[in-house]
A and B are shown apart, each in its own frame.
Chain A
């Protein structure tokens, strides 16, 4: 199963990069989101995956009795998911503003550092 997951991660990365390389602003955001998803899954996979063993200590015990999946990458990804929402919304708003101010959707036309007002 891991092999399929690895391929999906590769696909997410490839599509993310491809979308970032487009000239359209909206595609840039979608590319970033795809990359973020890929990164989350990558961390998840590299922490090793296990089925049916959530990292929750059974009610009757104070320590784990059986095998459990790794809680550390999960904690990392959880924060990453929430952060990426913040990033996405900020990027969306930025694109909106940029589009409104520069009046173009073409990234290639946004290559000057002069200030637009």
Chain B
């Protein structure tokens, strides 16, 4: 599969797909999308890159093992969950909202950070599984 066309294309596809995945993630609260889909799209982007350029290149590109995304995402999701406990003394997982309306993102709130956590975990899980399996064959 390492044809020049795919390799060249994947080099442009990777950033495009990643931007697209972030876009899907951010608009999730208002339109179809969200952390799960966003994370999956992002991991497809990396898998595609790995198919075209080989696993080693993708790893180099990533700089770190995708497994680290899992604890990071979990921590982010958990912290966004306990933030109402810390800031306003409300129960676990109560939504907190920034009063101003922001472009693209819409309202900024703890739920968004939770979704980013999901995004990271899903990405970490998928990439860990696929990378591990393809390395061992």
Total A-B Cβ pairs within 8 A? 17
> Is B21's beta carbon under 8 Å from chain A?
no
How many residues belonging to A are interface residues under a CB distance threshold of 8 Å? 11
**B residues bordering A, Cβ < 8 Å?**
30-32, 36, 40, 122, 125-126, 129, 133
Offer 13 A-B interface pairs, CB within 8 angstroms, sorted by A.
A54-B32, A56-B30, A56-B31, A56-B32, A78-B36, A79-B36, A82-B36, A82-B40, A86-B125, A86-B129, A89-B129, A89-B133, A92-B133
**Nearest chain B residue, comparing its CB with the CB of A86:** B125
Asked if A18 is an interface residue, CB under 8 A from chain B, the answer is no
Q: How far is the CA of A54 from the CA of B31 in the complex (A)?
A: 10
B-binding residues in A (CB < 8 A)? 54, 56, 59, 78-79, 82, 85-86, 89, 92-93
- Complex Cα distance, B129 from A79, in Å, reads 18
- Name the one of B30, B31, B122, B133 contacting A82, with C-beta atoms under 8 angstroms: B122
A59 to B106, CA, bound (A): 12
The complex places the Cα of A86 from the Cα of B133 at a distance, in Å, of 13
